[in-house]
Chain A
Amino acid sequence: MRRAYFKFSWIAAALLAPQLLIIFVFFYWPSAQALYWAFTLEQPWGGGNTWVGLDNFRKVLSDPYYWGSVRVSVIYALATTVLAMSMALTLAIFVDRQLAGYKAYRVAIIWPYAVAAPAVGLAFQFVFNPGAGIFSYINTISPGWWDLSKYPWQAVTAIVIAGAWKQVAYSFVFFLAALQSIPRSLTEAAAMDGARPLRRMIDLQLPLLTPTFFFLLVINITDSFTDSFGIVDTLTGGGPFRATDLMVYKIYADGFRGFDYSGAAAQSIILMLLVMALTFVQFRYVEKRVHYT
Chain B
Amino acid sequence: MNHKLATAALVLAATAGTASAEKIKFEYWYGLTGDLGAVVAETCNRFNASQDQFEAVCVGQDGYEKAVQNTIAAFRAGKHPTLLQSFDAGTADLMLSGEFYPVTKLMADTGVTIDWADYFPGIANYYSSSKGEFFSMPWNSSTPVYYFNKDIFAKAGITEAPITWEGLEAALVKVKESGAACGLAYAPSSWIDLEQFSYAHNVPVASNNNGYDGLDTELLFNTTLHVQHMENIQRWIEGGFATIRTQAAGKTARDSFVEGECAVFFSSIADHNTIHKLTPAFAWDVQMIPTYEAVERNNTVVGGASLWVLSGKTDEEYKAAATYLAFLATKEEQQFLLENTGYIPVTKSTYDALLAEGFYAKEPFINRDIAMKSLTVTETGPLTRGLRLGGMIQIRAEWTAEVEAALAGQKTMKEALDTATSRGNEILARFAQTYAGKSFP
Q: Please list the residues of chain A having a beta carbon within 8 angstroms of any beta carbon in chain B.
A: 26, 29-30, 33-34, 41-47, 49-50, 52, 59, 129-132, 136, 147-150, 155, 236-237, 239-242, 253-263
Residue B408 at the chain A interface, CB threshold 8 Å: yes
Q: Which residue in A33, A46, A256, A259 is a CB contact (below 8 Å) of B391?
A: A259
The 5 closest A-B pairs by CB, nearest first: A131-B250, A45-B97, A149-B248, A241-B405, A149-B249
Q: List 10 A-B contacts (CB under 8 A).
A: A33-B2, A43-B434, A46-B76, A49-B434, A132-B251, A136-B250, A239-B404, A241-B401, A254-B394, A258-B394
Given A155-B248, A258-B427, A260-B394, list of 6 further CB < 8 A pairs? Answer: A30-B3, A130-B249, A131-B251, A132-B250, A253-B394, A257-B65
Docked complex Cα distance between A44 and B72 (Å): 7
Residues of B within 8 A of A45 (CB): 72, 75-76, 93-94, 97, 99
B430 in contact with A260 (CB, 8 Å):
yes
B430 in contact with A47 (CB, 8 Å):
no
Docked complex Cα distance between A262 and B72 (Å): 15
Residues of A within 8 A of B96 (CB): 43
Q: Would you give the shortest CB distance from A176 to chain B, in whole angstroms?
A: 33
Segment 345-402 of B: residues with Cβ below 8 Å from A: 391, 393-394, 397, 401-402
A236 in contact with B248 (CB, 8 Å):
yes
Q: Which residue in A147, A237, A261 is a CB contact (below 8 Å) of B249?
A: A147
Residue B208 at the chain A interface, CB threshold 8 Å: no
Q: Would you give the shortest CB distance from A126 to chain B, in whole angstroms?
A: 12
Docked complex Cα distance between A42 and B394 (Å): 16
Q: Count A-B pairs with CB separation below 8 Å.
A: 109
Q: A30-B2, A258-B397 are in contact. Are A149 and B246 (CB under 8 A)?
A: yes
The B interface is mostly helix, strand or loop, or mixed, namely: helix
Q: Which residue in A29, A52, A149, A241 is a CB contact (below 8 Å) of B410?
A: A241
Docked complex Cα distance between A253 and B435 (Å): 21
Q: Would you give the shortest CB distance from A239 to chain B, in whole angstroms?
A: 6
Q: Give per-residue flags for B84-112: 1 if the beta carbon is below 8 A from chain A beta carbons, else 0.
A: 00000010011011110000000000000
The chain A residue with its CB closest to the CB of B431 is A260
Q: Which residue in B69, B90, B248, B436 is a CB contact (below 8 Å) of A148?
A: B248
Residues of B within 8 A of A257 (CB): 65, 69, 393-394, 397
A131 in contact with B404 (CB, 8 Å):
no
Docked complex Cα distance between A51 and B119 (Å): 43
Q: A147-B249, A242-B401 are in contact. Are A47 and B97 (CB under 8 A)?
A: yes
B436 in contact with A50 (CB, 8 Å):
yes
Residue B1 at the chain A interface, CB threshold 8 Å: yes
Q: Which residue in A130, A147, A241 is a CB contact (below 8 Å) of B402?
A: A241
Residues of B within 8 A of A41 (CB): 430, 433-434
Docked complex Cα distance between A41 and B244 (Å): 38
Residues of A within 8 A of B69 (CB): 256-257
Docked complex Cα distance between A239 and B433 (Å): 29
Interface centre among A45, A130, A136, A257, by most chain B C-beta atoms within 10 angstroms, is A45
The chain B residue with its CB closest to the CB of A30 is B2
The chain A residue with its CB closest to the CB of B429 is A59
Docked complex Cα distance between A262 and B430 (Å): 10
Residues of A within 8 A of B433 (CB): 41, 50, 52
Q: Would you give the shortest CB distance from B396 to chain A, in whole angstroms?
A: 10
Docked complex Cα distance between A59 and B94 (Å): 25
Segment 181-225 of B: residues with Cβ below 8 Å from A: none
Q: Would you give the shortest CB distance from B234 to chain A, in whole angstroms?
A: 14
Q: Give per-residue flags for B222-261: 1 if the beta carbon is below 8 A from chain A beta carbons, else 0.
A: 0000000000000000000000101011110000000000
The chain B residue with its CB closest to the CB of A49 is B434
The chain B residue with its CB closest to the CB of A242 is B401
Q: Which residue in A33, A132, A259 is a CB contact (below 8 Å) of B393?
A: A259
B401 in contact with A239 (CB, 8 Å):
yes
Residues of B within 8 A of A44 (CB): 72, 93, 97
The chain B residue with its CB closest to the CB of A259 is B93
Q: A150-B249, A241-B404, A257-B65 are in contact. Are A46 and B99 (CB under 8 A)?
A: yes
Q: Would you give the shortest CB distance from A63 to chain B, in whole angstroms?
A: 8
The chain B residue with its CB closest to the CB of A45 is B97
A240 in contact with B434 (CB, 8 Å):
no
Interface centre among B1, B408, B426, by most chain A C-beta atoms within 10 angstroms, is B1
Docked complex Cα distance between A254 and B397 (Å): 10
Q: Which residue in A237, A240, A255 is a CB contact (below 8 Å) of B1?
A: A255
Q: Would you give the shortest CB distance from A21 to chain B, in whole angstroms?
A: 13
Docked complex Cα distance between A44 and B434 (Å): 10
